[in-house]
Amino acid sequence: MKTRNIFLTAALLGCFVGAAAQDVTILHMKDGTTKRYTNGVKWKTSMGFYEYTPVNTKTFNSSTTHDNGYVYDWGVTQVQKVDGEYMVGLFWQDFMPDNFHARHGVCFGTKPGLTVDDCLAKEYATDEVVVKRDNSSINFVNVFGGHSYYMWIGARKSTNLEMFIGYGDNPMKLVTVDTLVNYITIPLEIGKTYYYRTFAEGTVLEAGLEKTVVFYDDERSFQVPRVMGDFGYYPYLRATEEALTAFANAHLDSLATLTWQQLEPLWNKWRATDEGKNYDLSADITSEKFDDGTGYRLNRIPDEFYIWAANREIVIDAFDGLAEVSKYYDKNTKDSVSTALEYRVTNVDPKWGVPGGKYILFKPTNTIFRPQITYRSDEVMAGVKYKIQFNFAPETDEFATDMDLRPTKVRIGVKAPSGNKFQSLNYPDGRRNIEVSATEVTTYEIQDFVMPAMGLDLQYENNVSISETKLDGNNPDKVVYNRILRIAEVRLIPMKDE
């Protein structure tokens, strides 16, 4: 239960009240003492009573979420992690009466029972600082109207710090600009328990003399959690940065950096094979228990994994390999609209010879935008030399029109590892466009295809102009194209060095 304090201020005021008999005001205090004030012709006693209830520190955003969904409640207002170190922020409101001329601050330490005279650190808060709200600079006191204070605790950081004040999905973001004030500079150690309490330090008169009185908020504590992510451990088996670097140096000379996200799809496939299941990794694994569970580290990636990955044939499935189809903005409906309609054709009659027995037919939705269709594979190993086969299906609908059976032209590009742009592939004959038949399977091959990074993104783009889709009565020999793409599987076959 909160402790309420009733304060009495007594002042002797000189004034002329006319001739009167002398009176005495006597106050009987709870501790048994008395206070005596004389009243008379020139003096009177004026008393005011104030009620003060200390307010707890606000805990708006006091939780952090760690691996395995582990949520830890710190019991503070805000938690930030800067340069690998935790910091906590406190925000509180204290409505101490103004005539006490109080200073407000925080006692902080590593043991309970904190006072201003017995703590590891004591810091006074000031509201005469500049903060940012909604990207505009403003004085702190103008934001909260006084009686509001904040404090950061942790290793000193020069960057601006963000504190979210309020509940719900849209709390106020308070960006503290000047980190030289309202800051207790003590690095927080992982696993250690810390205590804090806010206080108001005011001035009162006793026997005619000024005396400093301190009023404390409830003491609170928090422990810096010991979670696996802070020690380079993971909730499942994955390689350390050192293991990834050693693997890349040994096998991927052309690859500058390698991440586990790039390697993990292939690693999981290998671990699902009989070879991967039976390979003994115990000597290369370390594990440890943390607040958020047991963490693991793979300290070495076996050479056997690379041998398997670099010698396997990769198929990019016509259906499963599809990543996205380009869109355009429709001004009339104000919607994002696909540039092509998709028709998935399955169980193709073997007589057509379509690799994989299925394909997707992409038909443009308008004549302005050329569809760009992206296929993706996470299994392509960087630095490995492949023969890549692009397979296009013919039209297999027996009710196809003459226009459906016209050929088309396509350009294929590969996404550059350093960005989102696609670079067109050059074919052995020097062309960048492939002419694709609508009456038989079309397969184009590129030898010595090497990706300098893990994974592969392919983009197909129909490269037929509107004029090329129209008959020309004056030129009956003109080849007329359509703008339909029928994409079957892509196959990458490792090439052995002679």
**Percentage of the residues of the chain whose pLDDT score is greater than 90:** 52
pLDDT of residue 419: 64
Instruction: State the average pLDDT over residues 76-97.
Output: 88
Identity of the residue numbered 462: N
Question: What is the dihedral angle through the alpha carbons of 428, 434, 435, 437, rounded to the nearest 10 degrees?
Answer: 100
pLDDT at residue number 171: 64
Q: Looking at 33-47, 347-361, 364-378, which range is the least confident one?
A: 33-47
Q: Where are the beta strands (DSSP E) in 241-308?
A: 285-290, 293-298
Is residue 348 predicted with pLDDT exceeding 70? yes
Radius of gyration of the chain (CA): 37
Write the pLDDT tens digit of every residue in 453-463.
889 999 999 88
- The whole-model pTM stands at 0.72
Those residues with Cβ within 8 angstroms of residue 272's Cβ, 6 or more apart along the chain or in another chain: none
The rounded distance, in Å, linking the Cα atoms of 147 and 42 is: 38
Confidence of residue 14 (pLDDT cuts 50, 70, 90): very low
Residue intervals in the chain for CATH 2.60.120.260: 316-494
- In whole angstroms, give the CA distance from residue 2 to residue 18: 46
Q: Which of 150-154, 265-269, 402-406, 475-479 has the lowest mean pLDDT?
A: 475-479
Mean pLDDT of 437-444: 95
Six token digits for residue 120: 């590891």
Of 10-14, 173-177, 275-279, 316-320, minimum mean pLDDT range: 10-14
For residues 209-236, give the mean pLDDT: 91
> What tens digit of pLDDT does each residue of 21-47 get?
457 777 777 667 777 777 766 667 666
Query: Of 113-122, 127-136, 285-294, 395-404, which gets the smallest average pLDDT?
Result: 127-136
Higher pLDDT: 284 or 6? It is 284
Which pLDDT score is estimated for 50? 61
From CA 451, how far away is CA 148, in angstroms rounded? 58
What value does the mean pLDDT of the chain take?
84
CATH code: domain 316-494 is: 2.60.120.260
* Between residues 56 and 338, the one the model is more confident about: 338
- Helices of type H across 80-158: 140-144
Q: Residue 494 in contact with residue 384, Cβ under 8 Å?
A: yes
∠ CA 330-335-336, nearest 5°, is 85
Alpha carbon distance 254, 278 (integer Å): 31
